[in-house]
Amino acid sequence: MTSPFAPFQLAGLGLRNRVIKAATFEGMSHAGEVTPALVRHHRDIAAGGVAMTTVAYCAVSPDGRTFRDQLHMRPALVPGLRGLTDAVHREGAAAALQLGHCGFFCNNPELTRRRPFGPSRALNLLGALSGRPLADAMTADDIDEVTQQFVSAARLAREAGFDAVELHLGHGYLLSQFLSPATNRRRDQYGGSASARASFPLAVVERVRDALPPGFPVLAKVNLRDGFRGGFELDDSVQLAGWLAARGADALVLSGGFVSRDAFYLFRGERPLRAMIAAERSVPQKLALALFGPLVIRAHPFEPMYFLPLAREVRKAVTIPLVLLGGITALEHLHTARREGFELVAMARALIHDPSLIARYQAGEASTSGCIPCNRCVAEMDRPGGVRCARVAVELPARTPEDQAIDRPPGRAP
């Protein structure tokens, strides 16, 4: 079996090994701009030995932002992004840009529309406290416009020096909202059956693929499960994987979770509510998080490689490259992924804790990551400095019994 440190050819892109830095919102794009902190973050990850680092959540339009301080693709952003990709390339790694649209999951005070939109009329709980509690259903013209926005954004990403794009079809953002029967209640050609619900996301992938050179990798990030009853399930994911392969996706990034319903289905481990409340800058949002956070941010016990059992079913169904993520924190996990037939792995929290981890694995200097699933890095995304490992960056006070009770997943012993 090929080593996880062996080179890999992803479409026309040569990667130096099999490890990708997963797209993790950095919180380093103040006013929607590329900042020196964002460049340093990805340069350091690249210098640490990964094959490719993924810049997280660049919206395809201003209204595609979940929050104001997110990147949104436009010609004026290209020079800043080119500086980032140049810095990554100098360290010998490739750079991918994740492209997405938030749909109805929106708390953007600069929204140009009266209300955000999605597949169907919906409550927008995230934006309720900022005066946008409702979302509209998209028209056919809206769908065509957003499809073109994905195409334009992908072209600009290539112009900015990115080596690949990752289209976000997961986590409860717009394309995921169309795929999920829980949020897509349409009765036209975009709703109803699984194939109809997938028609808009598949059109985005196909149009982007056609707009880029054949060797330029187009990855799709997809849910294995939404993580709640009535949502997108594993059988749907297996079927979607086949359709995406047929539409020209070069690789699938296998993930899970629906942020507006159960955010920590993706993260697993402790839920650092006290740290998240402290980091929240909006007083109304801080109050809402304090009151309702324990109800809507449910904790899920952490297990190593927690998405592997679900991902195996997709592996059986398709032959295109698959990227395994979720709880990959040890060198042995990289070898396990290769034995299980996954061409690539994606890591996030472990690399936030130690950007040099892959180089240290390869040099035989480490076999495990020092990252524990405390998830305090999630809270750090909302602080001025952006995402970081709170345990490395600052010496935190010991947690009180009350903190431990809040953070501990249900069923976990003290």
Q: What is the pLDDT of residues 401-411, one digit of tens each?
A: 433 443 333 33
pLDDT at residue number 400: 41
Distance CA 183, CA 190 (A): 12
**pLDDT exceeds cutoff 70 at 81:** yes
Whether pLDDT at 97 is above 70: yes
As a whole number, mean pLDDT of residues 92-105 equals: 97
pLDDT score, position 286: 77
> Mean pLDDT across the chain, nearest whole number?
91
- Summarize pLDDT for 306-362 with one digit per residue, the tens: 999 999 999 999 999 999 999 999 999 999 999 999 999 999 999 999 999 999 999
Strand partners, 386: none
Instruction: Report how far residue 32's alpha carbon sits from residue 69's, in angstroms, rounded to the nearest whole number.
Output: 5
Instruction: Tell me if 374 is assigned to some domain.
Output: no
Could you tell me if residue 210 is inside a domain?
A: yes
Kindly state the percentage of the chain with pLDDT values over 90.
77
What integer pLDDT is reported at residue 284 of this predicted model?
72
Structural domain contains residue 378: no
Q: Decide if 321 is inside a domain.
A: yes
Phi, psi (degrees; rounded to nearest 5) at 203? -65, -40
What pLDDT is recorded for position 287? 78
Considering only residues 410 and 90, tell me which one the structure prediction assigns the higher pLDDT: 90
* Residue 333 belongs to some domain of the structure: yes
Which pLDDT does position 293 carry in this prediction? 74
Residue 291 belongs to some domain of the structure: no
The yes-or-no answer on residue 173 being catalytic is yes
Q: Would you say residue 213 lies in a domain?
A: yes
User: Alpha helices of 318-374 — where are they, by DSSP H?
Assistant: 331-339, 349-353, 357-362
Out of 57, 173, 265, 361, the active site residue is: 173
Q: How many helices (H) and strands (E) does the chain have?
A: 18, 14
Strand pairing partners for 122? 135
> For 64-76, how does the pLDDT look when each residue is reduced to its tens digit (9 = 90+)?
999 999 999 999 9
Identify whether the C-beta of residue 73 lies closer than 8 Å to the C-beta of residue 156: yes
pLDDT surpassing 50 at residue 413? no
H or E stretch at 38:
helix 36-47
Among 327, 313, 219, residue whose Cα is nearest residue 266: 327
Tell me which residue range forms the domain holding 113. 8-266+297-368
In a domain? residue 135: yes
Higher pLDDT, 179 or 133: 179
Q: What is the CATH number of the domain that holds 243?
A: 3.20.20.70
Burial call 142-154: b when 16+ CB within 10 Å, e when fewer: ebeebbebbbbbb
Domain count across the chain:
1
